């Protein structure tokens, strides 16, 4: 097992992961000494992606802008509270409770197509599941920062969704 795919599983992601591993395998058999682009891409620093993938979120909501907005309303009203529900047990070295709270946020972020938020929550969940609390404080700070970035993006995202609803896009 060389990789994993987080929920919700999307066929495009499955294809991408399989193709990546196929490229790596063929490069490894062709030449062990020369690194390929497929191998070095994993080492490059990530670019700053938008907080939300609006198109993917709208697709996940079956094109229903009102439903998408209701999910955003939920994030807006509970987002910082959810972070605190992860932070508090994390700072108290309660790995299990921290992992459970991070798992819940990871799922919500996945539904909203907030990839960076989802990824950060996943790292915290994994740390809690493995009781590796060494870097938790910095991960919690990263989570707080990413949640704030998401919340700051909500007005623009809502405008984008509304313009899609009214066919102005």
Asked if 157 and 82 sit in the same domain, the reply is: yes
Q: What is the pLDDT of residue 76?
A: 96
Find the angle CA(91)-CA(97)-CA(98) to the nearest 5 degrees: 50
Give the residue numbers spanning the domain of 143. 54-165
Q: What is the pLDDT of residue 23?
A: 57
CA distance 13 to 9: 7
Asked if 60 and 124 sit in the same domain, the reply is: yes
CB 127: neighbour CB atoms within 10 A? 21
Asked if 143 and 101 sit in the same domain, the reply is: yes
CATH assignment at residue 156: 1.20.120
Asked if 92 and 140 sit in the same domain, the reply is: yes
Asked if 156 and 76 sit in the same domain, the reply is: yes
Low-confidence ranges of the chain (pLDDT < 70): 1-4, 9-11, 14-47, 167-169
Q: What is the pLDDT of residue 128?
A: 96
pLDDT one-digit tens code per residue, 82-123: 999 999 999 999 999 999 999 999 999 999 999 999 999 999
Q: What is the pLDDT of residue 106?
A: 97
Q: What is the pLDDT of residue 30?
A: 45
Backbone angles phi, psi at 59, to 5 degrees: -65, -45
Q: What is the pLDDT of residue 165?
A: 75
Q: What is the pLDDT of residue 2?
A: 59
Asked if 141 and 74 sit in the same domain, the reply is: yes
């Amino acid at each position: 097992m060389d990789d994993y795919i987080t929920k919700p599983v999307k066929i495009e992601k499955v294809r991408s992961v399989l193709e990546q591993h196929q490229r790596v395998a063929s490069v490894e058999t062709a030449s062990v000494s020369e690194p390929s682009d497929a191998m070095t891409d994993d080492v490059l620093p990530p670019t700053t992606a938008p907080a939300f993938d609006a198109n993917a979120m709208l697709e996940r909501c079956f094109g229903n802008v009102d439903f998408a907005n209701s999910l955003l309303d939920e994030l807006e009203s509970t987002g910082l509270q959810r972070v605190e529900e992860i932070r508090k047990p994390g700072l108290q070295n309660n790995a299990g409770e921290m992992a459970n709270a991070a798992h819940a946020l990871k799922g919500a972020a996945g539904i909203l197509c907030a990839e960076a938020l989802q990824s950060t929550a996943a790292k915290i969940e994994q740390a809690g599941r493995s009781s590796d609390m060494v870097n938790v404080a910095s991960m919690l700070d990263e989570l707080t920062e990413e949640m704030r970035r998401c919340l700051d993006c909500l007005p623009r995202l809502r405008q984008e969704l509304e313009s899609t609803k009214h066919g102005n896009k």
